[in-house]
């Protein structure tokens, strides 16, 4: 509870320096985030706590805490700790993969933490704003909005149907179906950047066709999840790729290029494992080739080009906004030129009554007024995650200002991560553990990203390597366990109203616990990184090459 006797200074510990900005006025110092020069920041006077660079300001993490808590610095972890407990209970225990629910958890945690803050609660409240205005959050948000529009435009443009055509043309049979599903779902997920979206699309369209042909349902579902892991991990438009890059001061294109070696090292044995397991594990023999062919559309494969443009442009070092914009322009052009979608599939204003503008291709008459189309759904689909991200980074900022962040970091560096090998193992196992517990893997990734940055930097581990360690386990663990978001969305397609179970019978429903051992790419990716930490495979130090930083994220 707030103590009315506390004066304005009581919100800081006794031996803490006043609110002066850190003495970082070296003339040659270049803020990597394009922030205003130090003198401009200093002119903010009392508001310097808000304006001095947020989480990106190392002084905050290393100097004395600025918010004092009843219960000491560990109490500053209450908001984030409560959020993690909430996330585990909601997603892990109850199996509810609802991002909006996590938003409420973050709000409740933030409010609860305030009751433990000493002195004027204004400092605590200001820190929430300080956290939310960090560039790291803004960069991820911008990239998500663009990636969402691109992904949904590929979806309405028949990319999935194109991949189904490829499977049919290649004459994929029951034994090779899981391996093909892994590759094709991996391609889709790499194109649209969302493993969840790829899982839903493939479980809806590809899974029943495969089971009807005679593929083993458990193996097929696991193969689809493996494909989702691959794309979530590698795609430049993936939310987890974006978070991993921007939180480690690395450009997205460079991260994707440096990640390729790990992804391939896991994907090749995973592909082989699906071929072998596919020939061993039998399925339900039903004739389903007709169902497969019905939805196939060769033209949808043109979006391999849309996808390629984004990947190549990003790897070439162009800004991710530019790269995705080009991909989006090409995808829209393909959709319209080849009749893959209508204008209204991409953007539509729905009005209740016909009028002057209802003849326009992007104006439709419907029951309810509103805006729709792939651009709309793609961007708005990220809104819950954006709000959650803002809240998570503000809770992390409270922890930094309260000293909890530094305390945990100190413990890890002094007791666990004492050599570079142990530091990397700590990073791998830490990300794996937190992602194993929290269903929504992007949320887990954002929460642990500051630790990966700091532990890695303490051994001068390159930003690309840190981003790769962070994202591999985030992607992998998000699709393995029964409570993982990727598994839940696929399972929901099977058991939901009008789902596959209702349409085809119980053979089409897979128990999520059964798929755990067969998500080969997920497991292999974790193993690759454990081996990489032990052997030094792929390790790069900061002096080796400089990440191109978030200015080109």
Partner 1 sequence: MSRFKKFLAGWSLRSSTPSYEPGDVIEVMVTGDAGGETVARIGDSTLRIEGAPDDALNTRVRVAVETWDETAHRGTGTYRETVGESAF
Residues in touch with partner 1 (CB under 8 A):
22-24, 26, 28-32, 55-59, 61-62, 247-249, 253-254, 257-258, 260-261, 312, 315-316, 419-421, 449-450, 453-454, 457-461, 463-465, 535-546, 549
Which lies closer to partner 1 via its Cβ, residue 178 or residue 450? 450
Which lies closer to partner 1 via its Cβ, residue 273 or residue 324? 324
Which lies closer to partner 1 via its Cβ, residue 64 or residue 98? 64
> Measured from the CB of residue 265, what is the shortest distance to partner 1 in angstroms?
10
> Measured from the CB of residue 111, what is the shortest distance to partner 1 in angstroms?
25
Nearest Cα to Cα of residue 178 among 288, 287, 271 = 271
> Measured from the CB of residue 330, what is the shortest distance to partner 1 in angstroms?
19
Q: Which tokens go with 50?
A: 């808000």
Which lies closer to partner 1 via its Cβ, residue 262 or residue 479? 262
Which lies closer to partner 1 via its Cβ, residue 349 or residue 451? 451
> Measured from the CB of residue 41, what is the shortest distance to partner 1 in angstroms?
13
Nearest Cα to Cα of residue 410 among 28, 65, 26 = 65
Quickly list DSSP for 214-226. T--HHHHHHHHHH
Nearest Cα to Cα of residue 143 among 102, 193, 177, 213 = 193
> Measured from the CB of residue 543, what is the shortest distance to partner 1 in angstroms?
4
Show the DSSP H helices in 235-302 as ranges.
Answer: 239-247, 252-280, 289-294
- Is residue 301 within 8 Å of 307, Cβ to Cβ? no
In angstroms, how far is CA 491 from the centroid of its own chain? 20
Distance CA 399, CA 409 (A): 11
Which lies closer to partner 1 via its Cβ, residue 56 or residue 512? 56
Sheet containing 370-372, strands listed edge to edge, beginning at the edge strand earlier in sequence: 363-365, 348-351, 370-372
- Is residue 487 within 8 Å of 225, Cβ to Cβ? yes
Instruction: Report residue 461: phi and psi, to 5°.
Output: -80, 130
Which lies closer to partner 1 via its Cβ, residue 199 or residue 409? 409
**What is the total residue count of the chain?**
553
User: Which SS3 state, helix, strand or coil, does residue 79 take?
Assistant: helix
Q: In a 10 Å sphere around its CB, with 0-12 CB exposed, 13-18 middle and 19+ buried, how is residue 368 labelled?
A: exposed
> Measured from the CB of residue 315, what is the shortest distance to partner 1 in angstroms?
5
> Measured from the CB of residue 386, what is the shortest distance to partner 1 in angstroms?
20
């Amino acid at each position: 509870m707030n103590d009315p006797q506390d004066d304005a200074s009581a919100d800081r510990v006794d031996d803490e320096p006043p609110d002066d900005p850190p003495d970082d006025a070296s003339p040659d110092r270049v803020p990597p985030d394009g922030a205003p020069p130090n003198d401009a920041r200093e002119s903010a006077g009392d508001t310097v706590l808000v304006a001095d660079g947020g989480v990106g300001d190392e002084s905050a993490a290393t100097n004395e805490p600025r918010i004092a808590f009843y219960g000491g610095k560990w109490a500053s972890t209450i908001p984030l700790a409560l959020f993690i407990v909430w996330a585990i209970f909601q997603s892990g225990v109850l199996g509810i993969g609802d991002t909006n629910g996590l938003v409420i958890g973050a709000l409740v945690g933030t409010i609860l933490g305030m009751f433990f803050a000493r002195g004027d609660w204004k400092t605590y409240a200001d820190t929430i704003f300080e956290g939310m205005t960090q560039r790291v959050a803004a960069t991820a948000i911008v990239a998500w909005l663009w990636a969402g529009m691109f992904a949904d435009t590929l979806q309405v443009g028949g990319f999935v149907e194109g991949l189904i055509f490829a499977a049919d043309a290649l004459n994929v049979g029951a034994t090779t179906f899981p391996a093909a599903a892994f590759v094709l779902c991996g391609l889709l997920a790499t194109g649209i950047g969302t493993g969840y979206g790829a899982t839903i699309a493939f479980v809806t369209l590809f899974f029943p066709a495969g089971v009807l042909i005679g593929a083993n349902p458990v193996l097929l579902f696991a193969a689809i999840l493996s494909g989702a892991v691959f794309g979530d991990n590698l795609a430049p438009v993936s939310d987890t790729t974006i978070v991993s890059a921007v939180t480690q001061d690395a450009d997205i294109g460079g991260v994707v290029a440096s990640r390729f070696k790990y992804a391939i090292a896991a994907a090749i044995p995973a592909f082989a494992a699906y071929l072998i397991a596919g020939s061993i594990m039998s399925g339900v023999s039903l004739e389903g080739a007709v169902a497969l062919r019905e939805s196939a559309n060769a033209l949808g494969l043109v979006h391999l080009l849309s996808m390629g443009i984004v990947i190549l442009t990003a790897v070439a070092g162009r800004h991710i906004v530019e790269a995705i914009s080009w991909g989006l322009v090409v995808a829209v052009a393909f959709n319209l030129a080849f009749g893959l979608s209508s204008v209204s599939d991409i953007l539509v204003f729905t009005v209740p009554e016909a009028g002057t503008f209802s003849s326009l291709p992007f104006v439709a008459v419907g029951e309810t007024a509103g805006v729709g189309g792939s651009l709309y759904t793609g961007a708005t689909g990220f809104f819950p995650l954006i709000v959650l991200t803002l809240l998570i980074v503000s809770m992390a900022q409270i922890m930094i200002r309260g000293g909890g962040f530094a305390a945990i970091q100190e413990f890890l560096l002094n007791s666990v991560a004492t050599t570079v090998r142990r530091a990397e193992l700590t990073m791998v196992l830490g990300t794996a553990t937190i992602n194993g517990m929290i269903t929504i893997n992007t949320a887990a990734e954002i929460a642990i990203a500051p630790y990966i940055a700091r532990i890695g930097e303490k051994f001068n581990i390159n930003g690309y390597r840190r981003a790769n360690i962070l994202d591999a386990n985030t992607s992998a663990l998000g699709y393995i366990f029964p409570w993982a978001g990727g598994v839940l969305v696929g399972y929901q397609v099977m058991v939901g109203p009008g789902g596959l179970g209702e349409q085809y019978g119980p053979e089409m429903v897979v128990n999520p616990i059964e798929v755990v051992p067969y998500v080969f790419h997920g497991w292999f990716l974790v193993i690759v990184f454990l081996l990489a930490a032990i052997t030094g495979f792929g390790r790069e130090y900061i002096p080796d090459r400089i990440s191109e930083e978030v200015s080109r994220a």
